[in-house]
Amino acid sequence: MGASVTFRVNSEQRALALRIAASRAFGRAARLRELLLDIVEHASQPELLTEQHIGVRVFGRPEGYNPADDNIVRAAARQLRAKLKEYFEGEGCDETIFLDIPKGGYLPIFSARTAPPALHPARSFLWGWISAVTLLTCLVAGLLWDRARLLSESSEPDTILGEVLSSHPGAVRFVLTDSTLPSINQVLGETPSADDYANRTFVRRGEELAAHDPMLLNLWNTLMDRQITSLADVSVLTRLLQTHTRSARRIEVRHARHMRTRDFKSGHFVITGSRISNPWAGLFDQYTDFRFTGTGALIDVHPAPGAPSEYHRNYRDLDYARIALVPNISGTGDVLLAAGMGFEGTEGAGEFLLDPDALTQTRKLLGLRSGMPLPHFEVLLEAKVMGGTSRAVRVLIARSHAPASRQTPGSPTP
């Protein structure tokens, strides 16, 4: 191995980590995949690559837990090193970069690989031919990809989501819903608050409630071990990456379980799902007029005279969604909220955010001239549903929140 060590992960090294995570060696090791990607993601922040921090981020341990009494991170790291060895000796034997996590720490080390041992001449010729064909294929694919990317970037449309991304330099975190929460809520009989969710204090309550029912306890343990998100979220994220290629490299994807309240004090975010499936959306409910209730309704806390104060989903052909641009906890960045009452509503909200006509329409409804930056605002959408998918979306209400009336999340509702 070479001696080239880096603490800042470049695109080539990050691509290697993604290939490893997607390999057959990690096919049945979801938690090890998460551990690997978390370690690589925090390579430039060695102070966050401690047993304590990893235990909280990846394994859901409570803040302040004692690693001396719980060796889950050390045990998983041993398994991860074994999996990396398996990958580089098999599926990744042709990688030009080697990734190692030396014992005694959790800092990933990338180094140039030396040439593999000499092969039998016949095998060497065959391998050289295969490598040449593979290299040619990669080069052609790379050229086609670059051409497609350049064409895409040159014709990138103006959308609400694109407007938000372009006005926020630096990373934007896309926080995916936790699709296990509806089931967790049924066991608990309530929706965990953002703090309860972040501190994992609800876990013990669930264990106590399920303790005398083996089947329920097994279900609970399964829910605690899974990090699942909604297909609607994946659909929105995929379309975002395809539509706004210039901004794609700045998108950092996070599952809701990997976030903590303090993370929302700085930076910019896109949060999908309501507080029922993504508790972090609840942090900003006090700022919005349109709020999701635990009973499945979407309420307007400041309805216009004669207008409805509640909206209810029709499971057959009608859904509702909310889009809101609000400040983060400290008011130093923005948070874009997008959620439907159901899958179809969230899908419709995503389509609206990426529709160029929707940006023009929203500006008009908010009284903005073309080219004016979007203020903090929110819209209530109605989504027509057909065959389990969003067919058409229209704006029912659009409201702009002037700076003077802006309210920092967590402050009393006026």
The C-alpha atoms of residue 248 and residue 181 are separated, in whole angstroms, by 28
CA-nearest of 184, 218, 257 to 31 is: 257
199 located within any domain: no
Same domain? For 249 and 367 the reply is yes
346 Cβ partners below 8 Å, 6+ apart? 230, 232, 233, 236, 272, 273, 321, 338, 339, 340
299 class by beta-carbon count within 10 Å (0-12 exposed, 13-18 middle, 19+ buried): middle
Structure tokens at 262: 């303090």
200 located within any domain: no
Report in angstroms the alpha-carbon separations of 11 from 45, 95, 249, 281, 316: 17, 15, 10, 31, 45
Same domain? For 341 and 236 the reply is yes
411 located within any domain: no
Structure tokens at 17: 């980590």
Instruction: Give residue 7's pLDDT.
Output: 55
Tally of structural domains, the chain = 3
Instruction: Give residue 411's pLDDT.
Output: 36
233 located within any domain: yes
290 class by beta-carbon count within 10 Å (0-12 exposed, 13-18 middle, 19+ buried): buried
Same domain? For 122 and 97 the reply is no
Instruction: Give residue 76's pLDDT.
Output: 92
Single pTM value for the model: 0.61
Same domain? For 147 and 273 the reply is no
Instruction: Give residue 155's pLDDT.
Output: 62
134 located within any domain: yes
Same domain? For 137 and 15 the reply is no
Same domain? For 44 and 30 the reply is yes
Give the CATH number for residue 334: 3.30.379.10
Let me know: does 298 contact 287? Beta carbons within 8 Å.
Answer: no
Same domain? For 175 and 291 the reply is yes
Its sign, for the CA torsion 305, 307, 308, 309, is negative
Same domain? For 259 and 369 the reply is yes
6 located within any domain: no
Let me know: does 310 contact 301? Beta carbons within 8 Å.
Answer: no
pLDDT < 70 stretches in the chain: 1-8, 114-155, 387-388, 402-414
Instruction: Give residue 300's pLDDT.
Output: 95
Q: Which domain holds residue 16?
A: 11-112
Same domain? For 306 and 265 the reply is yes
Same domain? For 250 and 350 the reply is yes
Residues 196-232 have pLDDT tens digits of 888 888 888 888 888 888 888 887 888 887 778 887 8
Instruction: Give residue 114's pLDDT.
Output: 57
The C-alpha atoms of residue 101 and residue 51 are separated, in whole angstroms, by 13
Structure tokens at 292: 């999701």
Query: 398: helix, coil or strand?
Result: strand
Same domain? For 23 and 147 the reply is no
Same domain? For 165 and 94 the reply is no
The C-alpha atoms of residue 184 and residue 265 are separated, in whole angstroms, by 27
205 located within any domain: no
108 located within any domain: yes
Instruction: Give residue 352's pLDDT.
Output: 93
